[in-house]
Structures are given as structure tokens and as C-alpha cells.
Structure 1
Amino acid sequence: MTQMDQKISATTGLPAGAVITDDIRADIESFERNGFIGPIKLYEPEEAAEILRALRVANHDRSHILYDNNMNYDRHFDIPELSRHIMHPTILKYLRGILGSDLLCWRSEWFAKFPGGRGTEWHQVRDYSYTDGNPLIVPTETDWNAYIDLTVWTAFTPATKETACMRFLPGSHKKFYYDEKKSVTTGRNGDYQHTKTDTGFFGYDFSEFKVDPAWDPESANPVDMELQAGECVIFTASCAHASHNNTSERQTRLAISGRYVPTHVRVYPDLSSYNAHGETFDLANYATVLVSGADTYGHNKVRSANNRDQAFSFAPLEEQVPC
């Protein structure tokens, strides 16, 4: 086993504070094996459609946006529907079962695939240093034996193989197939519009990060994660993932992701800004959002309300069975 393999295998496993209810215990066990779980139902299709209509209208209002650029990061700070979505009770129940009860949402993102759109290429992320070489999340607990970041990817339109559903390599979170620390030639060089690039990862060529350039992800039995509108998949970004091309003629696939960390993780450590996907992000007004439990570390700025002065609020932890 290489030193790199040892490093990533030490990051898997649940923390002692994970809170698992009986109804999700089998799902959490599946997550430990595979690195992802889904589909998980959050909304009825009609409710998802209603939220989608609100999102499409709100997307055009840039008056309260955190970053006025093309990436649409962190719109939970100006779109009330997303302020509520990142704290959905079902999402928090699963996150508490994997990360523990003290949690921050550190980012939200839009993922749209238009008809004829190219699929997102295979990639695997640990600390998001692929962006410009700087780690964006760093754990501070030296004996932390768990995942430091989880993504909740929610479909608001049907996500099928035809419309570019996500794909995963089961168990790949237990080994590094990509090395974010590598020096690469594509993606980190200057400003560009990620929607107009010809790469498979929004301006980056993630194959440049491969540990073994000859390794073919398609030979590793990928799993297609088809979702109905209102369903989500929860995964660790250290599980290799991708998406199909959108081969449909007139169906746009839209998903929203929320990214979450335990409160001991430092987010954007010592950074006043960062560059990713051709955009610059000024962090002067950035903050995390406490979505569960308490933050006793104080490593990160935490916002209690969005940019419209609407409070972020979550339901208190109910009686649950610790693992």
C-alpha cells in the first residue's frame, strides 16, 4: 500500500458522535461500503416543481447575491427556498448519522445540464485544492477518523441516463485515484467562462490529476444514480463521481448541491479570496451556516441570517440512537 493509499484509508469510518436512527442504519452501512447513498426522497414531485419555479425566478434577481459571477455558488444566502433547503430535516438526519450532530453548510451550488450538454468527467476530491492549489477545507482534529465533507445533490428535474444523471464508483472513497496536489496545465490559468470551455470539468481537465494516467474509471463498474424530481443522493466527494452527457432533445437537468462539514473543519483557511473555474471569489462577506448542533470550535465565521435578514433555523436534534 502506498503512502497516499494509507492517507485516504485513514479518513474513512464514522465518528464516535454519529447519531443513527434505526430507519437509516442500513443506508449508513451502505454508505460506509460504497461512499454514496440514494435515492433519498426529500420532496413530492409537485413540491419540487414548485420550488424549481421559484428558483428560476429568483435566479435572475442579483440584488442580494454573495458572489456576482457565473458560478452561482452559495445562493442559499439570497434565495429563501435554498435557505430552507439546506436545512431539510431528512438531509440533517442522514448527515448526523455520518458526520455527527455539529454541522456547518459551507457551500451550495447549481448544476445544470442543458440538452446536448457534455457530461462531467470523472473526478475525486478531498480538500478541493484542485481549484488553485490551496486546500479549501482542513480538519483540525488530528485523530479525526471520518469524512470531512459530504455533498447532498438534489434533483429538481428528473435525472436519468438520458438527461445526465450522476455516476459513482462504489468503494472508490477508500483509495486515491486522483491527486489534487499535482501541478496541472488546465483550469488554474486565468479567467474564463466555465460554460464555454471544452473540458469535461468546468474548465479543468481532471484526467491530469490521475495517480495512474492509464487507469480507466469505466472499467471499475460505475453505478448510475437516476433520480426523480425531489430526490437526492448523498456522497463523499472522495468517492469518484461523474455524470452522463445530456442526450435529450429538450430536457434540462437541474440539481442543487449543498456541501457540509463537521464544525472542527476550517473552511477557506487563511484565505481572503480564491480562484476556481475561471472566477475569483471574494470571501469578505462569506460565512458558513450552522445547520445542526453547536459550534464550540469557532474556527469559522457563522451567519445566522441570509442576505435578506431571514434567519437560518433548524429543528433541534430529536431523540436518536447513537452508534
Structure 2
Amino acid sequence: MRAGGQHPWEFILSEQQQRDFERDGFVGPLPRFLPIDEIDALRRELDDLVSNRRSHPLYGRFSVRDWHLVSPLAMRLFTHPAIVRRLQQLAGEDLLLWRSKVFHKAPGDGEIGWHQEWGWFNGEEIGNDRPGLVPTSVGGDWWNLTVWVALDDITPENGPLRFVRGSQKTRFPIRMVPMVDSAFFQDPFIGDPDVATLVERARDNRLVLDIDTSRMFDGIDAHLLSRDALKTYVRNWLSSLQAAITLPFDAPAEDVVTLTMKKGDFVIFTERTMHASLPNDTTRSRIAIDCRVTTSDTLVYPGRLRDDFIDGSNLDITRHRCVLLSGRKLNRANACLHEEGGALPAGLAPRAHGLLGERLLDRADAPGLHCWENRLDARTVPFLGDHKVLGSVLIPGVTYVEMALAAAGEVLGRRPVSVEQVEYHHGLVLQEDAARRIQLSLQREGEGAAVRVHSRPAEGAGPWQLHASLRLRLDVMALPEPGSDAVRAGRRSAV
């Protein structure tokens, strides 16, 4: 990763801070940039979902991962210029937010031992080997940055982060041990749950974070076991699983840094830097949230390309999306969310057409309105190479028809539909060095729908330009596959 260009004086790292990062592997604490009431509101939201082990809308089970795709407050936090501009200084302009995680350290929770993540995020800490990231180059440089934001005042007593300066330059050895001996193991009997609660949590994968316990009690009637026998059974079952721990190492005392922080403060680090946290010896939970950012040429969740949608944390990431924080999306295989500042809709579906893009959040104040958005330039549509004019791609009219039918397919299913009317307004020209944000809207109207396609420059806030408007009608004509000859030959249009 290489440093980006200069930015406005607000929200930037000084030259000394950039040198500190290169030397130490972290920089911070950096000051709060959101109002205290927003920080407190996010804390309450995250405390509730962890304390009540709420099911994640995208993953169908409890998880502390990726709540920024659900929570507008978390999305606002991680897409704020105070974070993005500093990351650009360290990693360049083309950045993807690909993961976030909530850290809820309850009263009495112990320390998290020293550990580092070299960059694959493959789940080795719980015995898995399913890479989350594959960089374009696996040389000596890191390809992920983490931003850890305190949502409480962090004191020496409630579980502060610790770092070992300069440790990002060395890959320390690990050893596989039984799950119950790992640094990340959380005792499922904390809080003294009754048998019914314990069994329910196991079957819903809410018993031990990131571990599939759904079949723990298959063939066992837990209600017939004594309390001690139940604990022994659960511990033995979990001990059969393997996890990674970092072997003991010597760190000079002067290189070990314990970070106390005010709520809203944050630290940026590469997870190659050896890090840990101390116990929470207070009577109140300590909450933080982090996000993980990579360069946009990195392949995120490569298993997707093999139709393998289970990641290293045993989550089904079918509906996961990255967020393009800045610059260009360089790896076109990544699934990205292009909604500006919004949250991922619970009903997000895979793309139905290559140019249609991602479906945006349906608005409660606009029933029947559905929108899709994409970011395109001439390089993203090589299949339209024969539609170039003076080096730029002119989107052909039939493409709008294909996009409209694909959108109708998402909303209406395979119900019969035909194109009743098409009106073209302004040509859509794509250039290699000037991306445009394309938006298609579909408004249900009685037995049909009105479709409009707009675009504007991808950077900045220029006006939307209307390119095409279409009228779709439900009738007896079967819906052809998008891109098929039937679309081109069978449509009826009025220009």
C-alpha cells in the first residue's frame, strides 16, 4: 500500500503521525469527530444487540460482525471524512470498507492475549482456513487497516487496547490448541443460564461467538444432565475444536503501549501489529467498534467465486457487501454497496443485470418505489466495445430495456411483462477517466410500472440527467431473459 495525496487540513495525519504509524504499526488515539450524543446513541444500540444476542438481519444468527450494514449510525461513523481522509494518507485513494466488529467487554471479562492477523482473515483463531482477503501482491507490505473506535471512556481498569511497537515487521509463530484454551474463548456459562436457555443458544448458534454449535445437543437430552455434567459435556464438545494462539514472546517493556482513550477517540493500526486487551475489572461493560479497510484491488471473500459463501467465522456471507469509501472499485469481482450513506436493505438480492447495480433501501415514504444504483466508466463495460465513439462508450438504447426488464424481474418475479413505451432523452456517454453514478428507479403503477434511468458524475454532487423513461405492462407475454435476442426483437417502443 502506498500513501495517497494531500488533503484539506481538517482530519489529516501530521507528517510525524505518519512516521509514527510506519515505525510503530499504529497511530492514536485520534480525537473524536462526532457529537457525544451520536456516540452514546450508537453505544446503546450496540449494547442492546450484544446483550440480547440479537440475530443479524444479513446472517440469520447472532453475530458482532458488520452492523455498519444495518445501522445508519455505524455507517455514518465509518464513512466520515475524519476516518476516510486519514486512511487515504496511509493506503491511497481506492479504499473498500469490508468488515466491522463490535467489542463488548462485560464486567469481569478477562484479558485477550497477544495476537496478530497477518492479513488473510481466514478464521485461524477458531481453527478455520477460509481467507477473507486475497491481495494483488503478497509481498512484505500489509493490505488491511483497522480503525478501532471507543464508545466508552477507556481506562486502565476497563479493558484498554495494548500494542507492541514495531511488531508489525515480524510474523510471530502460533500453535493450535483446544478451543477452550484460545485467547478468544468466552465461557458460555457466564451469567449462569438455565438449561433451556443454553440449549436454545446452542441451536441458534448464539452460545459461543463464531462457532457453529447448532448440533451440539443432537442425540442428547440436556435436561437429564446435572449442572456439573452439563458443563463437562459442553466443555468437552468445545475442546474437540481447534484454535490458534500466539506463542509467548519477549517484548521490551518500553515498546508495550497501553492506550487510554476518551469516548469517540479512535486508533488506526495494521493488525500485523501485536495487540491485546486487559481485563474489565469495573462494574460496567466497555464497548467499542472497529472497521476494516483494504485497497479496492484486493479480492474480498474469494470463496464467492467458487459459490462458497461460508467465511472463516462460519457466517453465510451471501448477502454481505463492501462499501466503496473512496476512489475506484479496482477489483470488479467484489460485491459492493453503492448507496450513499445508507444501510443495506434486509431484502438485498444478487444483481440481475451487469449494469443494474445494487438495489437500494426501499423508502417507507414512497411505497412502490424501488431503486438500483451502479458506478460505471468505459472500462467496466468491455462488452460494449463496439459502441465506442471517439474512445468513449455510448450506451445503446436496448440496454435501458434490458435493465428495466431485469429490475422488473427482481420486483415482480417471473410474471409476464412487456415494454409498452420507451422514450430516450439524453445519450449516456461513459469515459475511462470519468465514472458516472447510474440510477434506475421503478415505480409500481396499477398493472404496470414506470421506469426512469438517470446518471450524474460519480464524484461530487452534480445534477442528475435523465436518459430514458419506460412504461412496463403486465400481460401474457413471457418475460425473456435479460440480454436475450427476444428482448431486442420482441420489444414494442415509442420514441
TM-score class normalised by the smaller sequence: 0.7 to 0.9
Match of 1:4 in 2: none
Please, which of 285, 297, 313 is the counterpart of residue 264 of structure 1?
A: 297
- Residue 183 of structure 1 deviates from its aligned partner by 5.2
What are the superposed Cα offsets for residues 227-254 of structure 1, whole Å, 9 maximum, x if unpaired? 1101111110000000000011x22110
SS at structure 2 position matched to 1:256: strand
- Residue 85 of structure 1 deviates from its aligned partner by 1.5
Match of 2:132 in 1: 136
- Residue 73 of structure 1 deviates from its aligned partner by 0.8
Please, which of 4, 9, 18 is the counterpart of residue 28 of structure 1?
A: 18
Match of 2:437 in 1: none
Please, which of 79, 99, 115 is the counterpart of residue 123 of structure 1?
A: 115
What are the superposed Cα offsets for residues 48-103 of structure 1, whole Å, 9 maximum, x if unpaired? 22332344467769687212333321111111111212201111011101110100
SS at structure 1 position matched to 2:114: coil
- Residue 272 of structure 1 deviates from its aligned partner by 1.6
Q: 2:145 corresponds to which letter in structure 1?
A: L
CA distance in 1, matches of 2:149, 2:262: 9
Please, which of 100, 105, 113 is the counterpart of residue 108 of structure 1?
A: 100
CA distance in 1, matches of 2:252, 2:281: 19
Does 72-81 or 220-229 show the bigger shift?
220-229
The alignment's C-alpha RMSD in Å is 3.4
Q: 1:28 corresponds to which letter in structure 2?
A: Q
Match of 1:321 in 2: none
Please, which of 233, 238, 243 is the counterpart of residue 272 of structure 2?
A: 238
Q: 2:5 corresponds to which letter in structure 1?
A: V
Q: 2:41 corresponds to which letter in structure 1?
A: E
Match of 2:74 in 1: 82
- Inter-CA distance 299–19: structure 2 relative to 1 (3 Å threshold): farther
SS at structure 1 position matched to 2:268: strand
- Residue 138 of structure 1 deviates from its aligned partner by 1.1
- Residue 295 of structure 1 deviates from its aligned partner by 0.6
SS at structure 2 position matched to 1:296: coil
CA distance in 2, matches of 1:149, 1:255: 19
- Inter-CA distance 77–46: structure 2 relative to 1 (3 Å threshold): closer
Task: Looking at secondary structure, tell me which structure has more strand per residue.
Answer: 2
Match of 2:387 in 1: none
CA distance in 2, matches of 1:64, 1:194: 13
Assess if the C-alpha contact under 8 Å between 1:113 and 1:252 holds in 2: yes
Matched, 1:45 2:36: yes
Match of 1:226 in 2: 260
Matched, 1:307 2:344: yes
- Inter-CA distance 293–204: structure 2 relative to 1 (3 Å threshold): farther
SS at structure 2 position matched to 1:51: helix
Count of matched residue positions in the alignment of Structure 1 and Structure 2: 287
Matched, 1:298 2:332: yes
Assess if the C-alpha contact under 8 Å between 1:169 and 1:223 holds in 2: yes
CA distance in 1, matches of 2:242, 2:96: 27
Assess if the C-alpha contact under 8 Å between 1:173 and 1:239 holds in 2: yes
- Inter-CA distance 98–247: structure 2 relative to 1 (3 Å threshold): same
Please, which of 209, 227, 243 is the counterpart of residue 194 of structure 1?
A: 209
SS at structure 2 position matched to 1:84: helix
If you compute each CA radius of gyration, which structure gives the higher value, 1 or 2? 2
Q: 2:121 corresponds to which letter in structure 1?
A: Y
Match of 1:255 in 2: 288
Q: 2:100 corresponds to which letter in structure 1?
A: S
Assess if the C-alpha contact under 8 Å between 1:139 and 1:265 holds in 2: yes
CA distance in 2, matches of 1:37, 1:226: 13
Q: What is the TM-score when the length of structure 1 is the normalising length?
A: 0.77
Match of 2:5 in 1: 19
- Residue 186 of structure 1 deviates from its aligned partner by 3.0
Q: 1:138 corresponds to which letter in structure 2?
A: V
- Residue 136 of structure 1 deviates from its aligned partner by 1.6
Please, which of 156, 159, 173 is the counterpart of residue 161 of structure 1?
A: 156
SS at structure 2 position matched to 1:52: helix
- Inter-CA distance 183–114: structure 2 relative to 1 (3 Å threshold): closer
SS at structure 2 position matched to 1:273: coil
CA distance in 2, matches of 1:69, 1:104: 25
- Residue 20 of structure 1 deviates from its aligned partner by 4.5
CA distance in 1, matches of 2:60, 2:322: 18
Match of 2:397 in 1: none
- Inter-CA distance 258–204: structure 2 relative to 1 (3 Å threshold): farther
What are the superposed Cα offsets for residues 98-147 of structure 1, whole Å, 9 maximum, x if unpaired? 110100011011001111111211101011232512322110146x6642
- Inter-CA distance 289–258: structure 2 relative to 1 (3 Å threshold): same
CA distance in 2, matches of 1:224, 1:307: 36
Which 5+ residue runs of structure 1 have no aligned equivalent?
1-13, 318-323
Match of 2:377 in 1: none
- Inter-CA distance 226–111: structure 2 relative to 1 (3 Å threshold): same
- Inter-CA distance 297–307: structure 2 relative to 1 (3 Å threshold): closer
Which 5+ residue runs of structure 2 have no aligned equivalent?
183-201, 211-230, 236-240, 346-359, 362-372, 375-457, 461-495
Q: What is the TM-score when the length of structure 2 is the normalising length?
A: 0.52
CA distance in 2, matches of 1:48, 1:91: 15
CA distance in 2, matches of 1:206, 1:115: 25
Match of 1:7 in 2: none
Q: 2:34 corresponds to which letter in structure 1?
A: Y
Assess if the C-alpha contact under 8 Å between 1:121 and 1:206 holds in 2: no
Matched, 1:273 2:265: no
Match of 1:73 in 2: 65
- Residue 33 of structure 1 deviates from its aligned partner by 0.4
SS at structure 1 position matched to 2:289: strand
